[in-house]
Amino acid sequence: MIKKTVADVSAALQGVEDGMTIMLGGFGLCGIPENAISELVRLGVKDLTCISNNAGVDDFGLGLLLHKRQINKMISSYVGENEEFERQMLSGELEVELTPQGTLAEKCRAAQAGFPAFYTPAGYGTEVSMGKETREFNGKMYVLEEAFKADFSLVKAWKGDEAGNLIFKGTARNFNPSMCGAAKITVAEVEELVPAGELDPNEIHIPGIFVSRIFQGKDYEKRIEQRTVRKRN
């Protein structure tokens, strides 16, 4: 059995350099690779292109990288909860490529599966399709979208084993599974790391073949982006 474990987040992110394209799992603040993001801040790498559903909030998640001016371009589907993101985008400091959410997910999945491109009806007739090949299938127009090309994919899972097999918990599953294996190097941080063979094969969401490095994270804040409570009767 090939062991994918590394000692810590520093070893896991070895090789990250300025100008790289990095995928980051999560949706809002749910299931984001907190340890890996903190390490990117510590490393001070800059001119990054980040592929993520959104950019966190001002003082957490990818918002930490934005405040340090480490991100040159964001490829996202939603940017509404981060004032610094909005300020940098409107001022022209940050290049932003808005992508329909389903297309964003499929561009990850296509890269994971080794497909160079795919056709989707999403975005046809809008700015999203400008400059892209279009084609008609069964009387409906589609846009050709290319799979992502990333250097690193940083994901967060609930449990993992030494072979890189992963289990996600609840809605933290979101973009994380489709980003596994969608980059040259996939780094998985997990809350609980166990020996190979301890995970129930029927419960594994991502097999270890899609993971390059795995480590046990620590000190997870798991902040709630929008807390909604119900009035007591």
Tens-digit pLDDT profile for residues 221-230: 888 877 788 8
Torsion over CA: 213, 113, 140, 134 (sign)? positive
- Output the pTM of the full model: 0.93
Torsion over CA: 119, 121, 127, 133 (sign)? positive
Q: CA-CA-CA-CA torsion for 108, 81, 58, 190, nearest 10 degrees? A: -40
Torsion over CA: 38, 39, 43, 47 (sign)? negative
Query: What pLDDT, on the 0 to 100 scale, is given for residue 28?
Result: 86
Q: Which residue's structure tokens are 């279009």?
A: 134
- Alpha helices, DSSP H only, in the chain? 9-12, 34-43, 63-67, 83-91, 101-113, 176-179
Query: What pLDDT, on the 0 to 100 scale, is given for residue 223?
Result: 82
| Secondary-structure class of domain 9-115+148-216 per CATH | alpha beta
Q: Please answer whether residues 65 and 96 qualify as being in contact, where contact means their C-beta atoms are separated by less than 8 angstroms.
A: no
Q: Which residue's structure tokens are 């992502």?
A: 148
The Cα–Cα gap between 35 and 40 comes to: 9
172: closest CA among 193, 156, 187, 185? Answer: 156
208: closest CA among 219, 218, 221, 193? Answer: 193
Query: What pLDDT, on the 0 to 100 scale, is given for residue 81?
Result: 76
The Cα–Cα gap between 208 and 36 comes to: 19
Residue 223 C-beta-side C-alpha neighbours within 13 Å: 13
One digit per residue, pLDDT tens: the chain, 233 residues? Answer: 689 999 999 999 999 999 999 999 999 899 999 999 999 999 999 999 999 999 888 889 999 999 999 999 999 998 777 889 989 999 999 999 999 999 999 999 999 999 999 999 999 999 999 999 999 999 999 999 999 999 999 999 999 999 999 999 999 999 999 999 999 999 999 999 999 999 999 999 999 999 999 999 999 988 887 778 888 87
- Return the SS3 of 228: coil
Which letter, b or e, does each residue of 154-189 get, where b requires 16 or more Cβ atoms within 10 Å of its Cβ?
Answer: bbbbbbbbbbbbbbbeeebbbbbbbbbbbbebbbbb
Query: What pLDDT, on the 0 to 100 scale, is given for residue 27?
Result: 92
Q: For 150, phi and psi rounded to 5 degrees?
A: -125, 155
